[in-house]
């Protein structure tokens, strides 16, 4: 599939801008929102002076900083706004290995914001590690809640023979995934609207997901996981994914857990779903303490820490010997 053929004029302009940035050697590693805020606070009121400050740090800039072509492409894409006599881009561009991804600009306040950050880098590493360790063929894969399309693109590049689906309920995420897929030049990704797996058919050899896992009072789609402490969507993904795995297929779930009194409520909730002998699974903490600033908010007053975890479930099928043991230890 040629993703470029299906892009609107606005999204083609974004794609062209991404290609210009790649050709110019642009790179930016995106930090957490709190780090982003702290760094930008040092330069409060200053205009951006470089492309990294415009498209990475999301700072306003004076007209004339960008080339005529770059500014025109932002205008054609509909992502340029005037801000007290200066201009500001609504999108950011972030680097992952040799790839470049477009996503929402900072701050990500909009309900349909498309997020990219440290979780994205850890999620990509988790997928890479799984692909290197698994010898099961992948004919069909899906990235649930694809956001900027990172999971789908990582899989599609590593398994060019696979049919890879990227699904999300957010139309803006689907648009950004389409631009990023075209920029990455992968032809084996299909992009579809779906609430988890409800709107797509069939079984999969690989299902990956990096869902929102926070309790967000504003209920922004990229951040709010549902339930009291954000675990509801992650649990629903496990429930829907288990019986959509082909024999030998795996679910790779990257999510966060609000730990209470030394206990892991997500692990407690998911364990009964995995007791069938048809599944082998592993579970481990990837980082014991993230987004510590959330502990200051009312929703997290009982929480000791927020950890990010990896749940990998494999459906035991014909020709697959042995079992996969569960583990709750750190790597």
Higher pLDDT, 8 or 45: 8
**Nearest-angstrom CA–CA distance, 214 and 230:** 4
Domain check: are 30 and 162 in the same one? no
In contact, 118 and 31? CB cutoff 8 Å: yes
Mark whether 126 and 83 lie in a shared domain. Answer: no
Kindly tell me if the per-residue pLDDT of 294 is higher than 50.
yes
Q: Residue 318 — pLDDT band, cuts 50, 70, 90?
A: low
| 299 shares a domain with 181 | yes
Let me know if residue 327 belongs to a domain: no
Token duo for residue 78: 């509909």
Residue-wise pLDDT tens digits, 204-228 = 999 999 999 988 887 777 777 888 8
Do 212 and 145 belong to one domain? Answer: yes
For residue 23, being part of any structural domain is answered with yes
CATH code, 290: 3.40.50.150
Residues 139 and 59 in one domain: no
* Helix (H/G/I), strand (E/B), else coil: 185: coil
Give yes or no for residue 328 having a pLDDT over 80. no
Of the pLDDT bands very low, low, confident and very high (cuts 50, 70, 90), residue 326 is very low
- Cβ atoms within 10 Å, residue 97: 10
Asked whether residue 167 is assigned to any structural domain, the reply reads yes
- Length of the chain, in residues: 331
Which of 55, 73, 104 finishes a domain?
104
In a domain, 303, yes or no: yes
Alpha carbon distance 155, 183 (integer Å): 15
Does some domain include residue 16? yes
- Which residues, at least 6 apart from 35, have a Cβ–Cβ distance to it below 8 Å? none
Same domain, 274 and 191: yes
Domain termination residue (choose one: 44, 77, 104) = 104
Report the pLDDT value the prediction gives residue 330, as an integer from 0 to 100.
Answer: 38
Structure confidence at residue 188 (pLDDT): 97
Domain boundaries, position 186:
118-315
What is the per-residue pLDDT across 146-190, written as a single tens digit (0 to 9) for each?
999 999 999 999 999 999 999 999 999 999 999 999 999 999 999
pLDDT of res. 319? 43
Please tell me whether residues 145 and 288 are part of one structural domain.
yes
Based on the fold, state whether residues 64 and 139 are members of the same structural domain.
no
Structure tokens at 63: 């007209």
Question: What's residue 5's pLDDT?
Answer: 79
- Report percent pLDDT > 70 for the chain: 95
Is residue 41 domain-shared with residue 146, that is, in the same domain?
A: no
User: Does residue 168 sit in the same domain as residue 310?
Assistant: yes
pLDDT at position 320 over 60: no
2 band by pLDDT with thresholds 50, 70 and 90: low
Q: Distance between CA 103 and CA 326 in Å, rounded?
A: 35
Residue 112 lies in a domain: no
Is 158 a domain residue? yes
- Is there a single domain that holds both residue 239 and residue 123? yes
Average pLDDT over the chain reads 92
Place of tokens 């992650």: 234
pLDDT digits (tens, 9 = 90+) for 37-79: 999 999 776 889 999 999 999 999 999 999 999 999 999 999 9
For residue range 101-116, what is the model confidence (pLDDT) as tens digits? 999 999 998 989 999 9
Mean pLDDT on 267-293: 96
Q: Are residues 136 and 264 in the same domain?
A: yes
Tokens of 178: 């389409």
Instruction: Taking residues 254-280, report their average pLDDT.
Output: 96
């Amino acid at each position: 599939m040629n993703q470029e053929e299906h892009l609107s004029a606005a999204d083609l302009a974004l794609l062209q801008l991404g290609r210009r940035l790649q050709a110019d050697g642009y790179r930016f590693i995106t930090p957490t929102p709190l780090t982003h805020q702290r760094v930008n606070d040092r330069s409060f009121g200053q205009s951006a002076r470089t492309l990294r400050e415009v498209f990475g740090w999301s700072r306003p800039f004076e007209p004339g900083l960008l080339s005529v072509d770059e500014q025109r492409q932002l205008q054609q894409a509909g992502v340029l706004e005037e801000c007290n006599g200066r201009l500001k881009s609504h999108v950011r561009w972030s680097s992952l290995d040799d790839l470049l991804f477009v996503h929402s600009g900072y701050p990500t306040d909009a309900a349909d914001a498309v997020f990219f950050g440290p979780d994205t880098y850890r999620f990509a590493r988790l997928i890479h590690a799984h692909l290197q360790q698994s010898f099961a063929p992948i004919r069909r894969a899906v990235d649930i809640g694809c956001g900027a399309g990172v999971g789908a693109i990582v899989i599609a590049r590593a398994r060019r023979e696979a049919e890879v689906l990227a699904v999300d309920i957010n139309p803006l995420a689907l648009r950004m995934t389409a631009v990023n897929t075209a920029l990455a030049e992968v032809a084996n990704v299909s992009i579809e609207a779906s609430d988890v797996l409800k709107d797509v058919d069939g079984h999969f050899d690989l299902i990956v997901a990096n869902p929102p896992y926070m309790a967000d009072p504003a209920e922004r789609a990229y951040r709010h996981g549902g339930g009291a402490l954000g675990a509801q969507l992650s649990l629903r993904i496990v429930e829907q994914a288990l019986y959509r795995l082909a024999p030998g297929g795996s679910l790779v779930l990257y999510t966060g857990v609000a730990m209470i009194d030394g206990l892991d409520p997500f692990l407690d909730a998911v364990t009964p779903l995995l007791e069938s002998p048809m599944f082998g699974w592993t579970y481990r903490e990837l980082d014991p303490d993230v987004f510590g600033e959330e502990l200051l908010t009312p929703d997290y007053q009982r929480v000791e820490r927020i950890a990010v975890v990896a749940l990998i479930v494999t459906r035991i099928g014909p020709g697959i010997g042995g079992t996969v043991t569960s583990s709750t230890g750190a790597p």
